[in-house]
Amino acid sequence: MSDETQGKAPEAGAAAAGSDSGPVSSQGSGQSSGSGSGPRPGGRPGGPRPAGGPGGRGKFFRRKKVCKFCTEKIDAIPYRDVRLLQGFVAERGKIVPRRLTGVCTTHQRRLTRAIKQARNIALLPFATRG
Ligand SMILES: [Zn+2]
């Protein structure tokens, strides 16, 4: 057995990229084979994609079925509590309908009055346009 080092040097210099200037002149007169709708081989593997519908639903994710004031047993809604009222007022100053807030009708009415009272003493902004 002879110890042969397998130092195989690659032959550098195989630059075959010469100046192969072929004729680019298209001499095909009237040779327009319309290869538009051809049967593509292969197809699509996998199968039909599962139809995932858009799950965008509900801007307000504050969904409480139970009235907040009923749960906290707040009978009279303090109109001075701006932070409390702001939770039921939209950004534009509109009163959020109770379908979105979940406030019962009784408290919604009191809430509305409280918000209007707060507006009059400039604790809450009126409905701003725009
Ligand atoms: Zn209530």
Domain-embedded: residue 76: yes
Ligand 1 centroid – CA 113 distance (Å)? 14
Query: What's the confidence (pLDDT) of residue 35?
Result: 57
- The CATH number that applies at residue 112 is 4.10.640.10
Ligand 1 centroid – CA 63 distance (Å)? 14
Global confidence as pTM:
0.50
Ion ligand 1: residues, CB < 5 A: 67, 69-70, 104, 107
Bridge partners of 89?
95
Domain-embedded: residue 62: no
How does pLDDT run across 26-41, given as a tens digit for each residue? 555 555 555 566 566 6
Ligand 1 centroid – CA 106 distance (Å)? 6
Ligand 1 centroid – CA 59 distance (Å)? 23
Give the range of the structural domain holding residue 95, as residue numbers without chain letter: 68-120
Measured distance CA(29)–CA(39) in Å, rounded: 26
Number of domains the chain is built from: 1
